[in-house]
Amino acid sequence: MGNKNTLMPKNILQEILTSVCMKLNRYFIMNNNTENKMTKSELQEKLTALYLRLNGYFTTGFIIHSSKDTKVDGEIDVLGVRFSNHQQKDRVISCSKFLDIPKDSKIDLIIGEVKGGKEKLQFNKSLRENDDRRYKLLTWLGFINDNDIPKIDNELSEKIATKKVNDSITFERIDYQSDLGLISIRPIIFAPDKLHPRKNQVKYIGGQTMLDFCLACFNPVKKRPTCETDYWSIDNWGEQFESLVRYFKLIEKNKDVNMNELYKHFKI
């Protein structure tokens, strides 16, 4: 009796080919990194923005303009805005508990300061000690009535002032009752090169917290039936996030990730 040639079902063949291509792509990217060069601070700010983006925040930076030639008066590393009805149930993963996202406000605004290495865990002096620069930020945001600016400015100045900290339980918060509803304004420090705050430190978000959350979003141990994570169009994340998203998606399953490994990958 002769042998009959049997064809492999098309869907199974496609899955095998996709798996092989992904593994080859992972090997090439991880061993022949040709990502655009960036500084350590740029990578830290991108990681912070991506972490917020994955938690439902629209993110941007902000330049505080100056009247002096060739100068700027300062910058905000990251601003994040999140609306209370945000949800992505198909992703299966919940938002990061470390962010303490308010449940009582309609909009949560994060004013984020990124501090790397051994930098002091405090907002920049240009924002802490200059009313005009805070005024430019608050008016740019657009949801605070002109008459309320001085009050919010005083509160923000107090919240970001350098002071002795007795605990790291909560983030500072300002509540503003706007025409849109209650808005929480939270100045938060992100410290990629640190782990978790000690009791006598200001509360901050550490690098490992951000890495673990990003990895859980992009590279789950088990396949999610409602949210595919192995796809080719990583460039859809745009120039800001593409290289970071590719790193998280192509890293080996169950591999420990830390900031030193991230810096090593990007040759920083």
Q: According to the model, what pLDDT value does residue 250 have? A: 87
Q: According to the model, what pLDDT value does residue 34 have? A: 47
First to last CA, the chain: 64
Report the predicted TM-score, pTM, of the whole model to 2 decimal places: 0.85
Query: For each successive 10 residues of the chain (268 residues), what is the average pLDDT?
Result: 57 65 54 68 97 97 85 90 93 93 97 95 91 95 96 96 74 95 97 88 94 93 84 87 93 85 94
Q: According to the model, what pLDDT value does residue 230 have? A: 79
